[in-house]
C-alpha cells in the first residue's frame, strides 16, 4: 500500500489566519535595476523616471525591472509624482517581456486614484479593479504604495490603508517585478523593497484513508521539497464558512493537486472552481479495474498510480515533474 506508515503524524503545515511561511523572512532592498522602457536614473535607494524614450511619444511608458525574481509576497515603494493628470506610477509584477502580459498596481491609472491594470499583447491595457477620485491625489507628495500577491489574489495598500483587493482571472505567469510609469515628466520612486513568500499548492481530496496516507507520504513531502507551501482545507484553524475558505485557498494558490479516484462531489466542486480560474491542476487517479475518469475531465492529463510500494515511487516521480513544470523549471 502507499501508506508505508499509517500512524505517521500529520504534516506540520497547519496555518493560522495571517501566518505565511516566508522564503525571505525580512524585506530586501532592491539595489540593481534595468531600464526596460523610458528614461531612468538609479541612485542608491532612488529610481527616477524622466519620461518616454522620445518626447511627445503617444505612449509615454516607463518600465524598470528589478534584479530579483518574484512570485508571491509583498512589494513596497514610495511614489511621488510632479502632476496628477494623465500620470500613473506604480509597481510592476508578473513581467516577462514588453511583448507578454503583465500587471501594474498604480496610482492615477484609468483616471482613478488607485487601479490594478493588466497589459495584454494585441489588446492593450485592461482595468481589472479601481477606486477613488483622481482629484484626491496630491502632487509632490510621497505615497507609500504596497502590493501583496498570493497566487491570483492581489491587494493594493496605500499609506497603510487597503484600497483595492481583487482576484485576477488567470494565473500570473512572469516572475519579474519592478516599477511602472506613464508620464511625460518625472516620477520618483524611493526605497523599493520586496518580501517573498513561498508559492502555494492546495490539495483537493477526500479526508479518509488511503488518501490521507497519499497526502502524508507523497504529496506533502514532494511539494515541500520543491519549496511550495502545502495546504489542505482541513488544516485551516479559524472560524468561518468552509466554502469561502476553500475558494480563498484556491485563489491564492499557484496550483492544485486533486485526487479524483472516487466520485466525490466536494472534490469536483473544488476542481471546477480551480478550472474556472485557469489554475494548473495536477490530477491523481488510482488504477482500479473497470473504472475510468469522468467524461467531463477525460481530456485532461492525469497521473495514474498503483496503490503499492512500487506505485508510490512512480507517483512521487511524476508529481515532482508536474510541479517543477508549474514552477517553470
Tens of pLDDT, residues 133-190: 999 999 889 999 999 999 999 999 999 999 999 999 999 999 999 999 998 778 999 9
User: In the prediction, which pLDDT does 9 show?
Assistant: 42
pLDDT exceeds 70 at position 91: yes
Mean pLDDT of 192-209: 95
User: In the prediction, which pLDDT does 291 show?
Assistant: 59
**Quick check: 177 and 93 in contact, CB under 8 A?**
yes
Band of the pLDDT at 57, cuts 50, 70, 90?
confident
- How is 130-154 classified by DSSP, letter by letter? EEEEGGG--TT--EEEEEEEETTEE
pLDDT exceeds 60 at position 11: no
Q: What is the dihedral of CA 146, 150, 153, 159, to 10 degrees?
A: -10
3-state secondary structure of 43: strand
User: In the prediction, which pLDDT does 124 show?
Assistant: 93
User: In the prediction, which pLDDT does 1 show?
Assistant: 46
Q: Which domains does the chain have, with CATH numbers?
A: 28-197 (2.60.120.560), 200-327 (3.40.50.450)
Q: Which three cell numbers stand for residue 93?
A: 509584477
pLDDT exceeds 70 at position 107: yes
User: In the prediction, which pLDDT does 236 show?
Assistant: 72
Q: What is the dihedral of CA 197, 31, 67, 35, to 10 degrees?
A: 130
Band of the pLDDT at 329, cuts 50, 70, 90?
low
**Integer Cα distance of 285 and 292 in angstroms:** 9
Report the predicted TM-score, pTM, of the whole model to 2 decimal places.
0.86
User: In the prediction, which pLDDT does 13 show?
Assistant: 41
In the structure, how many helices (H) and strands (E) does the chain have? 5, 20
User: In the prediction, which pLDDT does 10 show?
Assistant: 47
Q: Which three cell numbers stand for residue 159?
A: 499609506
Mean pLDDT of 203-225: 94
Work out the mean pLDDT of the chain and round it to a whole number.
87
pLDDT digits (tens, 9 = 90+) for 277-298: 999 999 999 887 555 666 667 6
Mean pLDDT of 32-51: 95
User: In the prediction, which pLDDT does 140 show?
Assistant: 86
Mean pLDDT of 4-25: 43
Lowest mean pLDDT among 83-97, 149-163, 237-251: 237-251
Q: Which three cell numbers stand for residue 35?
A: 531600464
Amino acid at each position: 500500500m502507499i501508506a508505508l506508515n499509517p500512524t505517521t503524524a500529520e504534516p506540520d503545515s497547519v496555518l493560522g489566519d495571517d501566518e505565511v511561511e516566508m522564503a525571505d523572512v525580512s524585506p530586501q532592498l532592491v539595489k540593481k535595476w534595468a531600464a526596460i522602457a523610458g528614461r531612468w536614473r538609479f541612485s542608491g535607494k532612488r529610481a527616477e523616471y524622466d519620461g518616454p524614450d522620445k518626447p511627445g511619444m503617444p505612449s509615454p511608458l516607463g518600465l524598470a525591472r528589478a534584479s530579483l525574481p518574484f512570485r508571491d509576497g509583498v512589494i513596497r515603494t514610495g511614489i511621488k509624482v510632479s502632476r496628477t493628470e494623465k500620470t500613473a506610477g506604480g509597481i510592476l509584477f508578473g513581467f516577462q517581456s514588453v511583448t507578454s502580459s503583465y500587471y501594474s498596481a498604480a496610482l492615477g491609472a484609468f483616471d482613478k486614484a488607485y487601479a490594478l491594470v493588466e497589459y495584454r499583447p494585441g489588446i492593450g491595457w485592461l482595468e481589472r479593479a479601481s477606486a477613488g477620485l483622481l482629484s484626491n491625489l496630491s502632487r509632490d507628495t510621497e505615497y507609500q504604495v504596497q502590493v501583496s500577491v498570493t497566487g491570483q489574489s492581489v491587494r493594493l495598500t496605500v499609506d497603510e490603508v487597503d484600497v483595492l483587493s481583487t482576484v485576477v482571472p488567470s494565473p500570473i505567469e512572469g516572475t519579474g517585478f519592478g516599477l511602472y510609469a506613464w508620464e511625460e515628466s518625472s516620477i520618483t520612486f524611493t526605497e523599493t523593497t520586496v518580501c517573498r513568500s513561498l508559492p502555494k499548492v492546495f490539495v483537493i481530496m477526500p479526508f479518509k484513508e488511503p488518501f490521507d496516507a497519499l497526502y502524508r507520504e507523497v504529496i506533502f513531502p514532494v511539494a515541500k521539497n520543491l519549496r511550495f507551501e502545502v495546504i489542505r482545507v482541513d488544516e485551516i484553524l479559524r472560524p468561518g464558512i468552509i466554502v469561502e475558505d476553500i475558494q480563498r485557498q484556491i485563489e491564492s494558490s499557484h496550483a492544485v493537486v486533486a485526487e479524483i479516484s472516487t466520485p466525490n462531489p466536494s472534490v469536483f466542486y473544488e476542481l471546477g472552481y480551480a478550472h474556472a480560474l485557469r489554475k494548473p491542476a495536477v490530477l491523481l487517479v488510482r488504477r482500479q479495474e473497470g473504472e475510468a475518469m469522468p467524461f467531463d475531465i477525460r481530456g485532461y492529463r492525469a497521473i495514474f498510480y498503483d496503490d503499492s510500494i512500487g506505485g508510490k515511487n512512480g507517483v512521487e516521480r511524476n508529481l515532482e515533474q508536474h510541479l517543477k513544470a508549474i514552477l517553470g523549471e
